[in-house]
Amino acid sequence: MIVQLNESLLQIRDLYKRFSISGDFLDQLRFEGGKIKRHQEHVHAINGVNLDILKGEALCVVGESGCGKSTVARTVMGLLNPSSGSISYEGQRIDNMSGKALMPYRKKMQMIFQNPYASLNPRMTVSETLAEPVQFHNPKWSGAEVRDKVHEVMFSVGVDPSWGVRFPHEFSGGQRQRISIARALAVDPEFIVADEPISALDVSIQAQVLNLMMDAQEQRDLTYMFITHDLSVVEHFGTRVAVMYLGTLCELGTSEQLFDSPRHPYTQALMSAIPKLADDRPNHIKLQGEVPTPVNLPSGCVFHGRCPYADDRCKQEIPQLIVTDSGTQVACHAVEEGRI
Amino acid sequence: MNMTAIVEEQTVSNWQRFRQSHFWHSFCIDKVAQISFLVFVAYVIAALLAPLMAPFDPYDPGSIDIMNSELPPSWQEEGDATFWLGTDAQGRDLWSTILYGTRVSLMIGICAVMLQAFLGICIGLVAGYVGGKVDSLLMRLADVQLSFSTMMVAIIVLAVFQATFGTQLYQELAMVMLILVIGIAEWPQYARTVRASVLAEKEKEYVDAARVMGLRAPRIMFRHILPNTLSPILVISTVQVANAIISEAALSFLGLGMPVSQPSLGSLISSGFEYIFSGSWWITVIPGLVLIVLVLVMNLLGDWLRDVLNPKLYKG
Mean pLDDT to the nearest integer, A198-209 = 87
Of B1, B205, B215, the CB nearest to A119: B205
Instruction: Find the residue in B nearest to A117 (Cα).
Output: B205
pLDDT (average), residues A261-274: 87
What structural domains and CATH numbers belong to chain A?
8-29+38-337 (3.40.50.300)
- CB of A133 within 8 Å of a chain B CB? The answer is yes
Please judge whether A118 and B227 are an interchain contact, meaning their C-beta atoms are less than 8 angstroms apart.
no
- Among chain B residues, the shortest Cα distance to A114 is held by B205
Q: What is the pLDDT of residue A147?
A: 92
| Residue A4, pLDDT above cutoff 60 | no
B262 CB neighbour count, 10 Å cutoff: 16
Q: Provide the pLDDT for residue A279.
A: 65
Q: Which residues of A65-87 are buried (b: 16+ CB within 10 A; e: fewer)?
A: eebbbbbbbbbbbbbbebbebeb
A137 close to B (CB below 8 A): yes
Handedness of CA A267, A268, A270, A274 (dihedral sign): positive
Average pLDDT over residues A229-238: 86
The pLDDT assigned to B23 comes to 82
Higher pLDDT, A190 or B77: A190
Name the residue in chain B with its Cα closest to that of A194: B209
Whether the per-residue pLDDT at B311 is higher than 60: the answer is: no
A101 to chain B: nearest residue by CA? B214
Strand partners, A322: A330
Q: Does the beta-carbon distance from A79 to B136 stay under 8 Å?
A: no
Taking 60 as the threshold, does the pLDDT of residue B8 lie above it?
no
The string of pLDDT tens digits covering residues A90-131 is 888 998 888 888 888 999 999 999 888 889 998 888 999 999
Answer whether B187's CB lies under 8 Å from B123's CB: yes
What letters, b where the CB count within 10 A reaches 16 and e where it falls short, cover A294-313? Answer: beebeebbbbbbbbeebeee
- A78 at B interface, C-beta within 8 A: yes
Give the pLDDT mean for B191-212: 92
Q: Which residues of A touch B210 (CB under 8 A)?
A: 121
Judge: A79–B205 Cβ closer than 8 Å, yes or no.
Answer: no
Nearest to B206 among A78, A102, A119 (CB): A119
Closest-CA distance, B140 to chain A, in angstroms, reads 15
Q: Which helix (H) or strand (E) holds B164?
A: helix B150-185
Pairing of strands A35-38, A29-32: antiparallel
Better pLDDT: A38 or A83: A83
Answer yes or no: pTM beyond 0.80.
yes
Average per-residue pLDDT for chain A: 87
Residue B292 binned pLDDT confidence (cut-offs 50, 70, 90): very high
**Interface residue A101 vs chain B (CB under 8 A):** no
Nearest CB neighbour to B205, from listed A113, A137, A165: A113
Q: Tell me the shortest Cα–Cα distance from A74 to chain B, in angstroms.
A: 9
CB contact under 8 A, B205 and A77: no
Q: Find the mean pLDDT for residues A50-55.
A: 90
- For A118, which of B204, B210, B211 is closest by C-beta distance? B204
Q: Tally C-beta pairs within 8 A across A and B.
A: 63
Chain B interface, Cβ < 8 Å to A: 1, 6, 9-10, 13, 136, 204-206, 208-216, 224, 227-228
Contact A121 B206 (CB under 8 A): yes
Taking the Cβ of residue A8 and every Cβ of chain B, the question of whether any pair is shorter than 8 Å is answered with no
According to the per-residue pLDDT averaged within each range, which of A234-238, A250-254, B54-58 is highest? A250-254
Alpha-carbon dihedral sign for residues B290, B292, B294, B296: negative
Lowest model confidence (mean pLDDT) among A135-139, A334-338, B35-39, B123-127 = A334-338
Q: How far apart are CA A144 and CA A140, in angstroms?
A: 12
Q: How confident is the model over B270-277, as a mean pLDDT?
A: 81
Lowest mean pLDDT segment, chosen from A274-283, B139-148, B213-222, B279-288: A274-283
* Per-residue pLDDT, B166: 85
A23 pLDDT more than 50 = yes
A1, pLDDT greater than 80? no
Pairing of strands A223-227, A58-62: parallel
For the segment A312-322, what is each residue's pLDDT rounded down to a tens digit?
Answer: 888 888 898 88
Taking an 8 Å cut-off on Cβ atoms, the answer to whether A162 and B1 are in contact is yes
CATH fourth-level superfamily of B43-53+77-309: MetI-like (1.10.3720.10)
Q: Which residue of B has its CA nearest to A80?
A: B208
| Domain segments of chain B as ranges | 43-53+77-309
Q: CA nearest B12 in A: which residue? A: A165
Answer for the pair A330, A263: CB distance below 8 angstroms, yes or no.
yes
Tens of pLDDT, residue by residue over B138-176, are 999 999 988 988 888 888 988 898 889 888 888 888 889
**pLDDT higher than 80, residue B205:** yes
Average pLDDT over residues B43-62: 83
Residues of chain B positioned with their CB less than 8 A from the CB of A114: 205
Contact B245, B108 (CB under 8 A): yes
pLDDT higher at B145 or B278: B145
